[in-house]
Amino acid sequence: MRLREIAHSRTGDKGNISNISIIAYDAKHYPLLLAQVTPERVKAHFAGVVEGEVVRYELPRISALNFVMDRALGGGVTRSLALDAHGKSLSSALLDLEIEAVPDKL
Amino acid sequence: MRTIRIGSGAGYSGDRIEPAVELAERGDIQYLVFECLGERTVALAQQARLKNPESGFDPLLEERMRAVLPVCAAKDIKVVTNMGAANPLAAARKTAEIARSMGLSRLKIAAVVGDDVLEACKQRDLPVMEFDGTIGQLGNRLISANAYLGAAPMAEALSRGADVVITGRASDPALFLAPLIHAFGWPMDDWTRLGKGIVAGHLLECAGQVTGGYFADPSYKDVAGLARLGFPIGEVGEDGSLVITKVEGSGGSVTAQTCKEQLLYEVHDPVRYIQPDVIADFSQIEIEEVGKDRVRVSGGRGSERPLSLKVSVGYVDSFIGEGQISYAGPGALARGRLALDIVRERLKLTGVAANELRFDLIGVDSLHGPHVSAHANEPYEVRVRVTGRTENLREAVRIGNEVETLYTNGPAGGGGAYKSARDVVAVASVLLPRELAQPRVQFVGDGSR
């Protein structure tokens, strides 16, 4: 299944750094996010978009992850050549990530 | 326990105006905050001010003030805003003039000045955070340098009786922290409560983004009434407790989900959300729905404020030229790709001097590039987009021209061409020792003292 089935997401921007939250709809899916939505996978998913490091922060109390992606916005929001200079649409791309469902966790 | 209600009347400079009027009329609020100052807006406003010394503030200031001042005056709702942009004093004078013209000359209008630290920055060759280099290397491309001020001067203005407080660059959450410090007398070293105040400000500062805006995804996250989206109200207790809500009957919704998304919006390390007044810690926050459109947010904390202030530096970066044209029907994608190839070759042939070029097919790969978009289906229509960064306007214009000439020289059926060329004012950051920014409060107009 797609990540979209179990989580929602929002993108924010600061300079050339994009952050994407991934929030489980249901707290019981948080372990799936932890196990499968790794910074390595996120970095690979955004090949060609994110040039820098991807760091993941964990917020178990709200069943959320926060990904901070360096050099992700074409040189920075205020100077980028990109159509979506803020990278607002990146959250939707991440929700396309394939998640391997563990039956007893659903 | 004492509680105040703060309304958030704008999340950016161009935001809808009537939700703010709704908040003032029906929100039972004591404070109305307008956050209208984007990252580079101060730099653009500074350019305007250089041409006209009485300009340089938010272009919608008059419209917003005319819309809300009468009801705010009638209900004794204090207004706090960063619509001063590069010229808070002129914005305050303008607001006093508007108040007088509406028979509200009793209103006390205060400006917070001192965020402009251009001279202090010029005297020190501070390193730029975003790229290798110093502020000095920007030379005469440097336009503006404005420190993100904290809440103290705004709180002082409120304590001295201001009905309207207009600041330039200040941290966005500080606009909300100021009324809390004023109303509850929070000490400026009570890191826990200041941290909680920042949580409130952070959730409220983008207005509709916490009440269902920037959220809807049909059949996954449905939101009713986005055309009449209600803006948020923060109900904050003296101890920093917080409930996010909105005007009853307005559009949108406040749920645990909308609050979680906004909590992490533009946040990096949740343990260290760095603000001028405190380093807020969001990591232990809990979010709980306590009623219809009522969400309790608890567990915010804070630690000692940083020694430096972040300064937003505006500079002339480059020029950008752009051209677009559309293709549709069978073979649209192939014709779009051919068009891009032609423009790529033309830019080389004609020697357009660009430092950076970008070739997109809108509807195919423009947002996330060919890798992320690889498995997408072929669309009915595509839009070719070519952009490039140049050193001057003349070169930038040539990029759009090479797209436009596809009309008669390119693939079949190209339509709707568009081109543009513009200069780019970009923003970078430096850190300035906080004592070098000297904010002060200045009252204007009939209410001045």
**In this predicted model, what pLDDT tens digit does every residue of B18-59 receive, in sequence order?**
999 999 999 999 999 999 998 888 988 998 998 999 999 999
CB contact under 8 A, B299 and A48: no
Report the pLDDT value the prediction gives residue B132, as an integer from 0 to 100: 87
For chain A, the structural domain boundaries read 3-105
In a domain, residue B24? The reply is yes
- Using a CB–CB cutoff of 8 Å, tell me whether A97 touches chain B: no
User: Out of A10, A16, A82, whose CB is closest to B130?
Assistant: A16
Same domain, B54 and B181: yes
Task: Tell the residue number behind the tokens 């608890």, with chain if given.
Answer: B298
Q: Is A27 on the interface with B (CB under 8 A)?
A: no
- Predicted model pTM: 0.95
The strands making up B31-34's β-sheet, listed across from edge to edge, are: B286-291, B294-298, B242-246, B232-237, B3-10, B31-34, B78-81, B164-167, B109-113, B440-444
* Shared domain check, B247 and B323: no
Which candidate in B171, B205, B264 is best for mutational testing of the A interface (most A CBs within 10 A)?
A: B264
pLDDT tens-digit readout, B387-413: 999 999 999 999 999 999 999 999 999
Has residue B121 been placed in a domain? no
Closest-CA residue of chain B to A19: B266
A18, A30, A46, A83: best to mutate for the B interface, most B CBs within 10 A:
A83
**Claim to verify: residue B170 and residue B301 sit in the same structural domain:** yes
Does any domain span residue B437?
no
Q: Are residues B39 and A78, on separate chains, in Cβ contact within 8 Å?
A: yes
| Closest-CA residue of chain A to B270 | A57
The pLDDT tens digits along chain A (106 residues) read 999 999 999 999 999 999 999 999 999 999 999 999 999 999 999 999 999 999 999 999 999 999 999 999 998 888 999 999 999 999 999 999 999 987 654 5
Same domain? B94 vs B181: yes
Look up residue A55 and give its two tokens.
């760091």
Chain mean pLDDT for chain B:
96
CB B318 to CB A79 under 8 A? yes
In a domain, B246, yes or no: yes
B159 and B210 inside one domain? yes
Tell me if chain B has a CB within 8 Å of the CB of A4.
yes
Does B359 lie in the same domain as B298? no
Give the mean pLDDT of B338-344. Answer: 98
Amino acid at B86: A
Q: B32: which strand partners?
A: B7, B79
Could you tell me the CATH number of the domain that includes residue B379?
3.30.70.1710
pLDDT digits (tens, 9 = 90+) for B136-166: 999 999 999 999 999 999 999 999 999 999 9
Tell me the shortest Cα–Cα distance from A16 to chain B, in angstroms.
8
User: Domain check: are B258 and B348 in the same one?
Assistant: no
pLDDT given for residue B449 in this prediction: 46
Size of interface A-B (CB pairs under 8 A): 124
User: In chain B, what residues touch A26 (CB-CB under 8 Å)?
Assistant: none
Any chain B CB within 8 A of the CB of A35?
no
Least Cα separation, residue A104 to chain B (angstroms): 22
Contact list, B39 vs chain A (CB under 8 Å): 77-78
A12 touches chain B (CB under 8 A): yes
Q: Does the residue B143 lie in any domain?
A: no
CATH number belonging to domain A3-105: 3.30.70
B448 pLDDT above the threshold of 80: no
In a domain, B209, yes or no: yes
The residues facing B322 across adjacent strands are B387, B420
What local confidence, expressed as pLDDT, does residue B130 receive?
87
Give the one of B214, B266, B285 whose C-beta lies nearest to A62's C-beta: B285
3-state secondary structure of A89: coil
A79: which 2 tokens? 């100077």
> Are A59 and B283 a contacting pair at CB < 8 A?
yes
Pick the residue from chain B with its C-alpha nearest to A94.
Answer: B372
Residue where a domain stops, chosen among B246, B274, B306:
B306
DSSP-assigned beta bridge partners for residue B320: B389, B422
Quick check: is B446 in a domain? no
B281 and B361 belong to one structural domain: no
Distance from CA of B264 to the nearest CA of A (A): 6
- Residue A91, min C-alpha distance to chain B (Å): 11
For an interface test with B, the pick among A4, A62, A89 (most B C-beta atoms closer than 10 Å) comes out as A62
pLDDT band at B375 (very low <50, low <70, confident <90, very high): confident
The pLDDT assigned to B446 comes to: 53
pLDDT of residue A13: 94
Q: What is the pLDDT of residue B447?
A: 47
In a domain, B127, yes or no: no
In a shared domain, residues B181 and B234: yes
Q: Considering only A75-84, B188-197, B223-232, which range has the smallest mean pLDDT?
A: A75-84
The residue out of B271, B306, B341 marking a domain boundary is: B306
Query: Distance (Å) from the C-alpha of residue B56 to the closest C-alpha of chain A?
Result: 19
pLDDT of B220 over the 90 cut: yes
The 3-state secondary structure of chain B reads CCEEEEEEEECCCCCCCHHHHHHHHHCCCCEEEECCCCCCHHHHHHHHHHHCCCCCCCCCHHHHHHHHHHHHHHHCCEEEECCCCCCHHHHHHHHHHHHHHCCCCCCCEEEEECCECHHHHHHCCCECCCCCCEHHHHHHHEEEEEECECCHHHHHHHHCCCCEEEECCECCCHHHHHHHHHHHCCCCCCHHHHHHHHHHHHHHCCHHHHCCCCCCECCCECCCCHHHECCEEEEEECCCCEEEEECCCCECCCCHHHHHHHHCCCCCCCCCEECCCCEEECCCCEEEEEECCEEEEECCEEECCCCEEEEEEEEEEEEEEEEEEEEECCCHHHHHHHHHHHHHHHHHHCCCCCCEEEEEEECCCCCCHHHHCCCCCCCCEEEEEEEEEECCHHHHHHHHHHHHCHHHHCCCCCEEEEEEEEEEEEEEEEEEEHHHCCCEEEEEHHHCC
Domain assignment of residue B93, given as a range: 3-114+149-306
Contacts with A66 from chain B: Cβ below 8 Å: 264, 267-268, 270
A91 has a chain B CB within 8 A of its CB: no
A43 touches chain B (CB under 8 A): no
Domain count, chain B: 2
**Does the distance separating the beta carbons of A68 and B268 come in below 8 Å?**
yes
